[in-house]
C-alpha cells in the first residue's frame, strides 16, 4: 500500500510538473514579442541593383514568392490575383499575396505572439505601433539602398521625411499623403462644402448665407416655405463633433496657430463662437432638428439620399458621393450644389482641410519578412506611375485610354459597368479600391474618378484648401496622463458643443461655455498645449516651414 | 483487485475529522478505485487551465504601463499607479454611478416582472393562447441590441412613434428627441431591457412550475383556497430555489452588464447618464489604446463582482433554510 502511494505520489509530482511546464510554455509563447532579427536574403544570383531601373524588372527569381500581408481593417477585400488590377500585379512581380484582415485585437495578437506577417498595414499613425516601428519593421531607407534604389525616385521625399523616426530612418509609407507640392499643384479636390438643394435655392431667389443675420433669416424662410424639410443638416455627431467642430472652423478660416506659432484653441475662437451662437438661435427657431444630434452615420445618409435637408455643411463629399448621386438621379434639377455659405465675421478666408502628409493607411515591411527584396519591389511598383495608373484605371487599351493632354478615360464598356453594375465592376476590375499607395494626384487624372454628383462641389472648393500639416500628430503620447486628460477634454467638448447649440437661452449657452473652460483648467490643459506646441515646432522643422 | 478490501475501517463517526495523513490516503484510495471516472474530468481541467487560468497572467498589465509593442514581460512595472488614477478619475465614478443606477433599476423592476409574467402564463388555461403569449414575449430576446437600438432611436426621434403618441394625447406641445434627454436615460435603459428580456426570463420559472405536483393544487382547492392563495402558498414556495439562483446570478453581474445597450443608445448629450463601466473600459482599452488602465478597471470590477456573488449567496441561503444554491 505504502509503495503504491509512493508511486502515485511521484506520478502526482510528475503530473504537476508537466502541467507547470505546459503553463510556462504557453505563457512563454505569449511573451517572446517581435524582437527577432530581420532575415537577410541574398540577391546575388537574382539581379544586381541599378538605380535607374526598378528592381522588379531586373529580378530573375523564377519561383513565385508567397507573402502574407496583414491589413488592420475587417472590410478589406482579401482576394488576390482574380481581378484585373491584382492579376497584373501578380504577373509583373511574380508574387502571390495572402491577405489577412482583422481588428486591433488581432493586430495585438500578432505583436504579442511574435509571429509577424511579411507586410503589415495599419491606420492610426499616432499609435505606439507606429512610434516604435523600429522594433518590428525594416527601415525602408536600408531596403531601398540594398535591394531597390529606384524606390527613392517614386517615394515622396517629404513623406519619407515626415515618417522618419528618431534613428533617422523611415519604416512605413502611407497612402493619400499629400505634400505641399500636391496642394500647390491644385490636384487635390476639396472634400468640404456648404450645399443647398438647387430647387430650394432658386425658390428663395439665390440668397446670401454669409453673415449670421443672413443665415438666420434664410433658415427661417426655408422653414416657412418648405415645412417638410429640415432647413440645416450636418454630418452625424461623433468623435470630432461631426462637421460643426473643426470642419466649420476651417470653413470660416479660424487660424491654425497663435501669432507666435503656439497651439491655438480653435474651439474658443470668438469668430467661431459667434457662429455657434448663430446656430443656437437657428436651433431655437426650430430650423435644426434635434434628431441630427442623435442620428448615427446611417441615419444621416438616409436623409441625404432622400434630400431631407435643405442645406448641409457637408464633410467628406466623396464618401457621400453615392448618396448624393442617388438623390440626383432620382430628382433631376433638385441636386445639391455648393455655395459660399457661412463666412468669417472678421474677414478670414476659408482654410479647408484635406488628407494631410500623414495620409491614411500606412504600410510596413516587418522584420520577419521572408523576402524583403520582393517586398520593397512591391512598394516601388505600386508607387510608380505605372502602378498608380493600374490601381486607379486598370490597363491601358484594356480598360482605359490615355488622352493627348495626359488625362485618362475609361473605355465605354468599362464606364458602363461602373455606372450600372457596380458589384460586377468591383469584382472583375477592382479599380480605385486596391489603394495601398493611392494618391489624389493620380485620381485627378480622370473625370471618371469621382461621381457626377460632387464635381460641382469640388470645383467650388478650388483654391480654398490649406494644408494642416503643423497640426498633424500633435497629441500627447498614448498612455500618458496628458493623453488621458485630452480624451476627457475631447469627450466633454463633444457634449459642450452640442449643448451650446441646443441651449435654451443665451445664459445657458454662456454657462455651458464657462463649464467647458473650467474643465480645461482641471484637466492639465496647460501641459497639453505645451506638448502640442512642441510637437508643432518639430513638425515645422521636419517640413522646413518657418 | 478486491475493492471492498480498501474501504477504510469505520470505527469513527463519519462526520468526525480524520487526521490529515489519513484523509490524503483515503483520497488516493478513492481516486484509484474510480480512476476511469475521475479521468473523464481531466480534459475539462486542462481546458480550464489553458483558457481560464493561464490568461490570468495577462492581468499583470494592470500593474504595468503596457502598449501594443511591449510584451507582457517587457512592459515597465508601475505598481498601483493605474489604480490610483482610477480613484481620481471622475469619468470612471460617473460610470460606476450609472452602472449601479441602471442595474438596480433593472434588478428592482426587471427581476420581479418575469416572475409575475411566468405565473400569469402558468395560470392561463387555453393551450393555444398560452403558447401564443409565450412566443410573443420571447421574441424581442432574439433581436440583438444593434437592431433594437436602431428601432428605439427611430421611435424616440422627433417624428417618431413616442413623440407622435404624446403629441396626439396632448401631453406635450413640441416634439423633442427623447434620447437626447439625459434625465430620462436610466428609465429608457431599464424599460427597454425589460421589454427585451422579460419573456425570456420566464422560461426557467415555467420549467420549475411544470414540475409542481398537481395534487397540491387539488388538495388546496378542496380546502377552499382561492387562486391567489394557491399562488402564494404553493407556486411561490416551490419556485424559491430557482428565484434564489437567478438572484445570485443577476447580482454577481450587476457591475458587468449593459454594454451592448449603452454602445447603441449613448450619444453626446446623454453620455453623462449613459456611460457604464463596461463601455468605459471598452472606450479606454479598445479605442484609446490604454490597455493597462482598462485592465485595472476590469480587475477591480471582477473583485467587487466576486464579493457581490458571495454576499448574494449568503443572503439567499438564509432565505432557503441555510441551504446554499451554489
B269:A241 CB<8 A? no
Using an 8 Å CB-CB cutoff, list chain A residues near B153: 294-296, 299
Question: Taking CB atoms and an 8 Å limit, are B91 and A488 in contact across chains?
Answer: yes
Q: Is A372:A41 a contact under the CB 8 Å cutoff?
A: yes
Asked if residue A122 lies in contact with residue A90, where contact means CB atoms within 8 angstroms, the answer is no
Closest Cβ opposite residue B54 in set A27, A114, A495: A27
- Rounded Cα–Cα distance for residues B321 and A381 (Å): 78
Q: Is B17 exposed, middle or buried (0-12, 13-18, 19+ CB in 10 A)?
A: exposed
Distance CA A146, CA A118 (A): 18
- The rounded distance, in Å, linking the Cα atoms of A90 and A69 is 14
Q: Are strands A172-174 and A362-365 parallel, antiparallel or unpaired?
A: antiparallel
Starting at the edge strand found earlier in the chain, the sheet holding A336-339 runs A230-234, A309-315, A192-197, A336-339
B16 pLDDT tier (thresholds 50, 70, 90) = low
Residue A379 CA neighbour count, 13 Å, CB half: 34
Question: If you measure CA to CA, which chain A residue comes closest to B91?
Answer: A488
Residues of B in contact with A491 (CB under 8 A): 91, 271
Contacts of B158 in chain A (CB under 8 A): 289-291
Shortest CB distance from B267 goes to which of A128, A293, A484? A293
pTM equals 0.77
Check CB contact under 8 Å for B289 and A241: no
pLDDT at B4 over 50: no
Residue-level pLDDT, tens digit, chain A, 546 residues? 444 444 445 555 555 555 555 554 444 444 443 344 445 677 888 899 999 999 999 998 889 999 999 999 888 889 999 999 999 999 999 999 999 998 877 887 788 777 899 999 998 887 778 888 998 999 999 999 999 999 999 999 889 988 998 899 999 999 989 888 888 888 888 999 999 999 999 999 999 999 999 999 999 999 999 999 999 999 988 766 789 999 999 999 999 999 999 999 999 999 999 999 999 999 999 999 988 888 878 888 889 999 999 999 999 888 888 889 889 888 989 999 999 999 999 999 999 998 888 888 999 999 999 999 999 999 999 999 999 999 989 999 999 998 888 888 889 998 888 777 777 888 888 887 888 898 888 888 887 778 888 889 999 999 899 999 999 989 888 778 888 889 889 989 999 999 999 999 999 999 999 999 999 999 889 999 999 999 999 989 888 877
Chain A residues inside the 8 Å CB shell of B70: 33
Copy the grid coordinates of residue A70: 496583414
Question: Cell match 466576486: residue?
Answer: B306
Q: Which of A26, A293, A299 sits opposite B269 (nearest CB)?
A: A293
Beta carbons within 10 angstroms of residue B250's beta carbon: 18
Compute the distance between CA of residue B243 and CA of residue B240 in angstroms, rounded to an integer. Answer: 5
Q: Specify whether the backbone of A479 is left (phi greater than 0), alpha (psi in -120 to 50) or beta.
A: left
Cβ atoms of B278 and B92 closer than 8 Å: no
**Each residue's pLDDT tens digit, A189-222:** 899 999 999 999 999 999 999 999 999 999 999 9
Q: Nearest Cα to B57, choosing from A397, A502, A28? A: A28
Rounded to the nearest 5 degrees, what angle is found at the Cα of A413, between the Cα atoms of A408 and A416? Answer: 90
pLDDT at B90: 84
Tens-place pLDDT, residues B206-220: 889 888 998 999 999
Instruction: Provide the pLDDT for residue A16.
Output: 54
Task: Return all residues near B281 (Cβ < 8 A) that are at least 6 apart.
Answer: B294, B297, B298, B301
- Chain B hits for A113, CB-CB cut-off 8 Å, are none
**Cα separation of A327 and A329, whole Å?**
6
B interface with A, Cβ–Cβ below 8 Å: 25, 28, 32, 46, 49-50, 53-54, 57-58, 65-74, 85, 89, 91, 153, 156-159, 175-177, 179-180, 267-269, 271-272, 284, 286, 288-290, 292-293
**Cα–Cα distance measured from residue B267 to residue B272, given in angstroms and rounded to the nearest whole number:** 9
Q: Phi/psi of residue B35, each to 5°?
A: -60, -30
Contacts of B265 in chain A (CB under 8 A): none
Instruction: Please give the pLDDT value at position A35.
Output: 41
* Neighbour tally for B296: CB within 10 Å: 25
CA distances from B302 to A102, B98, B306, B316 (A): 28, 17, 6, 21
List C-alpha distances in Å: A396 to A390, A414, A454: 8, 12, 26
- Residue B168: CB atoms within 10 A of its CB come to 8
pLDDT of the residue at A275: 96
| Rg (alpha carbons) of chain A, rounded to whole number | 27
User: Which residues of chain B are within 8 Å of residue A5 when distances are taken between CB atoms?
Assistant: 25, 28
pLDDT for res A407 = 87
Contact at CB, A294 and B286, closer than 8 angstroms: no
Residues in chain A closer than 8 A to B159 (CB atoms): 291
Query: Which of B28, B66, B156 has its CB closest to that of A8?
Result: B28
Which of A5, A107, A293 shows the shortest C-beta gap to B25? A5
Question: Residue A27 in contact with residue A21, Cβ under 8 Å?
Answer: no
Helix (H, G, I), strand (E, B) or coil at A309: strand
ipTM, interface predicted TM-score of the complex:
0.71
Whether A384 contacts A56, CB under 8 Å: no
Q: What is the 3-state secondary structure (H, E, C) of A105-161?
A: HHHHHHHHHCCCCCEEEECCCCCHHHHCHHHCECCHHHHHHHHCCCHHHHCCHHHHH
Q: Is A127 on the interface with B (CB under 8 A)?
A: yes
Tell me if A256 sits within 8 A of A357, measured CB to CB.
Answer: no
CA separation for the pair B269, A502 (Å, rounded): 10
Half-sphere exposure in the Cβ direction for A298 (13 Å, CA): 8
Q: In angstroms, what separates the C-alpha of B72 from chain A's closest C-alpha? A: 6
* Chain A environment of B73 (Cβ under 8 Å): 31
Quick: pLDDT tens for B122-155.
Answer: 888 778 888 888 888 889 999 999 899 888 988 9
Contact assignment for B156 to A132 by CB distance below 8 Å? no
Judged by CB atoms closer than 8 Å, whether chains meet at B177 and A291 is answered as yes
The Cα B200–Cα A310 span in angstroms is 45
- Alpha helices in chain B, H assignment, sequence order: 20-33, 35-39, 42-48, 81-87, 90-110, 112-123, 127-138, 145-156, 161-168, 185-209, 214-222, 227-230, 236-252, 259-265, 271-274, 277-282, 291-319
Mean predicted lDDT score pLDDT of chain B: 86
Which residues contact residue A181 at a Cβ distance below 8 angstroms, ignoring those fewer than 6 apart?
A: A156, A158
CA B276 to chain centre: 15
Length reported for chain B: 326
The C-alpha atoms of residue A314 and residue B97 are separated, in whole angstroms, by: 37
- For residue A175, give the DSSP letter: S
By the 8 A CB rule, do A72 and A121 touch? yes
8 Å CB contact of A495 and B268: yes
How big, in percent rounded to 5, are the helix, strand and coil portions of chain A? 50, 10, 40
CA distance A303 to A317: 15
Task: Spell out which residues of chain A touch residue B52, defining contact as CB-CB under 8 Å.
Answer: none
Grid cell 490597455 in the structure block, residue: B291
- A291–B158 CB contact, under 8 Å: yes
Interface probe for A, chosen from B155, B271, B289, B296 (most Cβ of A below 10 Å), is B289
Identity of the residue in B58, B67, B72 whose CB atom sits nearest the CB atom of A479? B67
A502/B contact by beta carbon, under 8 A: yes
**Who contacts B22 (Cβ-Cβ below 8 Å, separation ≥6)?**
B8
Bridge partners of residue A197, in order along the sequence: A336
Q: Which residues pair with A69 in a beta bridge?
A: A99, A119
Cα separation, A299 vs A22, whole angstroms: 51
Of B66, B89, B286, the CB nearest to A104: B286
Between B145-156 and B161-168, two packed helices, what is the crossing angle to 10 degrees?
Answer: 30
Chain B residue with minimum CA distance to A290: B177
Whether B180 and A491 lie within 8 Å, measured CB to CB: no
Residue A529's CB is within 10 A of a number of other CB atoms, namely 17
Contact yes or no for B271 and A487 at CB 8 A? no
Contact B289 A479 (CB under 8 A): yes
B-contacting residues in A 9-38 (Cβ below 8 Å): 19, 22-23, 26-27, 30-34
Interface of A with B in 79-98 (CB under 8 A): none
Q: Would an 8 Å CB–CB cutoff place A136 in contact with chain B? A: yes
Question: Which of A335, A334, A305, A309 has the alpha carbon at shortest distance from A320?
Answer: A305
User: What gap in Å lies between CA A54 and CA A149, rounded to an integer?
Assistant: 8
| Cβ contact, residue pair A478, B288, below 8 Å | yes
CA distance B37 to chain A (A): 17
Going by C-alpha positions, the residue among A143, A163, A161 that lies closest to residue A151 is A143
- Cα–Cα distance between A40 and A488 in angstroms, integer? 46
> Looking at the DSSP assignment, which residues form a beta bridge with residue A194?
A313, A339
Amino acid at each position: 500500500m505504502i509503495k503504491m502511494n509512493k508511486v502515485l505520489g511521484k506520478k502526482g509530482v510528475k503530473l504537476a510538473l508537466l502541467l507547470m511546464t505546459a503553463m510556462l510554455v504557453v505563457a512563454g509563447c505569449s511573451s517572446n514579442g517581435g524582437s527577432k532579427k530581420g532575415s537577410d536574403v541574398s540577391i546575388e544570383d537574382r539581379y544586381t541593383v541599378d538605380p535607374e531601373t526598378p528592381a522588379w524588372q531586373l529580378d530573375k527569381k523564377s519561383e513565385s514568392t508567397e507573402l502574407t500581408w496583414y491589413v488592420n481593417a475587417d472590410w478589406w477585400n482579401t482576394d488576390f490575383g482574380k481581378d484585373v488590377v491584382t492579376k497584373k500585379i501578380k504577373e509583373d512581380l511574380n508574387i502571390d499575396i495572402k491577405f489577412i484582415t482583422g481588428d486591433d485585437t488581432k493586430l495585438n495578437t500578432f505583436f504579442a505572439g511574435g509571429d509577424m506577417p511579411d507586410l503589415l498595414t495599419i491606420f492610426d499613425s499616432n499609435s505606439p505601433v507606429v512610434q516604435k516601428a523600429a522594433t518590428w519593421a525594416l527601415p525602408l531607407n536600408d531596403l531601398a539602398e540594398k535591394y531597390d534604389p529606384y524606390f527613392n525616385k517614386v517615394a515622396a521625399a517629404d513623406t519619407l521625411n515626415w515618417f522618419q523616426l528618431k534613428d533617422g530612418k523611415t519604416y512605413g509609407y502611407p497612402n493619400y499623403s499629400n505634400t505641399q507640392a500636391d496642394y500647390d499643384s491644385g490636384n487635390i479636390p476639396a472634400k468640404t462644402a456648404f450645399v443647398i438643394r438647387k430647387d430650394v435655392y432658386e425658390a428663395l431667389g439665390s440668397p446670401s448665407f454669409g453673415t449670421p443675420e443672413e443665415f438666420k433669416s434664410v433658415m427661417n424662410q426655408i422653414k416657412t416655405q418648405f415645412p417638410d424639410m429640415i432647413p440645416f443638416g450636418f454630418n452625424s455627431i461623433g468623435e470630432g463633433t461631426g462637421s460643426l467642430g473643426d470642419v466649420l472652423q476651417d470653413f470660416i478660416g479660424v487660424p491654425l496657430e497663435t501669432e507666435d506659432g503656439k497651439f491655438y484653441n480653435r474651439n474658443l475662437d470668438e469668430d467661431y463662437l459667434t457662429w455657434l451662437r448663430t446656430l443656437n438661435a437657428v436651433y431655437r427657431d426650430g430650423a435644426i432638428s434635434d434628431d441630427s444630434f442623435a442620428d448615427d452615420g446611417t441615419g444621416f445618409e438616409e436623409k441625404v439620399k432622400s434630400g431631407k435637408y435643405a442645406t448641409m455643411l457637408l464633410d467628406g463629399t466623396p464618401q457621400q458621393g453615392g448618396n448624393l448621386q442617388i438623390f440626383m438621379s432620382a430628382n433631376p434639377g433638385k441636386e445639391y450644389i455648393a455655395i459660399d455659405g457661412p463666412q468669417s465675421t472678421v474677414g478670414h478666408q476659408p482654410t479647408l482641410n484635406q488628407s494631410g502628409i500623414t495620409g491614411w493607411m500606412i504600410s510596413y515591411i516587418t522584420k520577419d519578412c521572408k523576402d524583403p527584396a520582393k517586398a520593397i519591389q512591391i512598394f516601388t511598383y505600386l508607387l510608380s506611375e505605372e502602378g498608380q495608373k493600374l490601381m486607379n484605371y486598370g490597363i491601358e487599351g484594356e480598360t482605359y485610354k490615355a488622352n493627348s493632354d495626359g488625362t485618362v478615360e475609361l473605355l465605354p464598356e468599362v464606364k458602363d459597368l461602373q455606372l450600372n453594375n457596380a458589384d460586377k465592376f468591383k469584382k472583375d476590375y477592382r479599380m480605385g479600391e486596391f489603394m495601398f499607395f493611392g494618391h489624389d494626384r493620380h485620381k485627378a487624372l480622370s473625370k471618371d474618378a469621382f461621381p457626377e454628383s460632387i464635381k460641382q462641389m469640388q470645383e467650388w472648393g478650388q483654391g480654398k484648401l490649406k494644408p494642416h500639416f503643423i497640426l498633424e500628430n500633435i497629441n500627447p503620447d498614448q498612455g500618458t496622463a496628458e493623453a488621458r486628460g485630452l480624451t476627457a477634454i475631447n469627450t466633454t467638448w463633444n457634449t459642450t458643443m452640442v449643448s451650446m447649440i441646443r441651449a435654451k437661452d443665451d445664459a445657458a449657452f454662456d454657462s455651458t461655455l464657462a463649464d467647458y473652460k473650467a474643465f480645461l483648467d482641471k484637466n492639465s490643459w496647460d501641459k497639453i498645449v505645451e506638448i502640442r506646441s512642441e510637437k508643432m515646432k518639430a513638425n515645422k522643422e521636419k517640413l522646413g516651414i518657418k | 483487485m478486491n475493492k471492498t478490501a480498501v474501504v477504510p475501517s469505520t470505527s469513527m463517526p463519519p462526520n468526525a475529522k480524520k487526521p490529515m495523513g489519513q484523509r490524503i490516503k483515503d483520497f488516493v484510495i478513492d481516486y484509484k478505485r474510480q480512476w476511469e471516472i475521475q479521468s473523464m474530468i481531466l480534459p475539462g481541467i486542462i481546458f480550464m487551465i489553458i483558457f481560464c487560468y493561464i490568461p490570468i497572467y495577462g492581468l499583470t498589465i494592470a500593474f504595468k504601463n503596457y502598449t501594443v509593442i511591449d510584451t507582457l514581460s517587457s512592459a515597465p512595472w508601475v505598481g498601483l499607479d493605474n489604480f490610483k488614477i482610477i480613484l481620481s478619475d471622475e469619468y470612471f465614478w460617473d460610470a460606476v454611478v450609472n452602472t449601479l443606477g441602471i442595474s438596480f433599476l433593472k434588478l428592482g423592476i426587471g427581476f420581479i416582472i418575469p416572475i409575475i409574467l411566468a405565473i400569469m402564463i402558468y395560470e392561463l388555461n387555453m393551450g393555444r393562447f398560452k403558447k401564443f403569449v409565450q412566443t410573443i414575449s420571447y421574441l424581442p430576446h432574439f433581436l440583438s441590441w444593434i437592431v433594437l437600438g436602431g428601432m428605439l432611436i427611430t421611435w424616440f426621434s422627433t417624428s417618431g412613434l413616442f413623440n407622435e403618441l404624446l403629441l396626439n394625447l396632448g401631453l406635450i406641445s413640441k416634439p423633442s428627441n427623447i434620447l437626447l434627454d439625459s434625465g430620462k436615460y436610466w428609465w429608457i435603459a431599464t424599460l427597454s431591457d425589460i421589454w427585451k428580456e422579460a419573456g425570456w426570463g420566464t422560461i426557467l420559472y415555467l420549467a420549475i412550475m411544470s414540475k409542481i405536483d398537481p395534487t397540491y393544487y387539488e388538495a388546496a382547492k378542496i380546502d377552499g383556497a382561492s387562486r391567489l392563495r394557491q399562488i402564494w402558498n404553493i407556486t411561490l414556495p416551490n419556485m424559491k430555489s430557482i428565484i434564489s439562483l437567478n438572484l445570485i446570478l443577476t447580482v454577481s453581474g450587476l457591475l458587468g452588464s449593459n454594454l451592448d445597450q449603452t454602445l447603441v443608445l449613448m450619444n453626446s448629450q446623454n453620455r453623462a447618464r449613459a456611460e457604464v463601466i463596461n463601455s468605459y473600459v471598452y472606450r479606454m482599452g479598445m479605442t484609446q489604446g490604454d490597455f493597462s488602465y482598462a485592465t485595472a478597471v476590469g480587475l477591480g470590477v471582477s473583485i467587487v463582482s466576486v464579493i457581490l456573488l458571495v454576499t448574494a449567496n449568503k443572503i439567499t441561503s438564509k432565505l432557503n433554510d441555510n441551504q446554499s444554491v451554489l
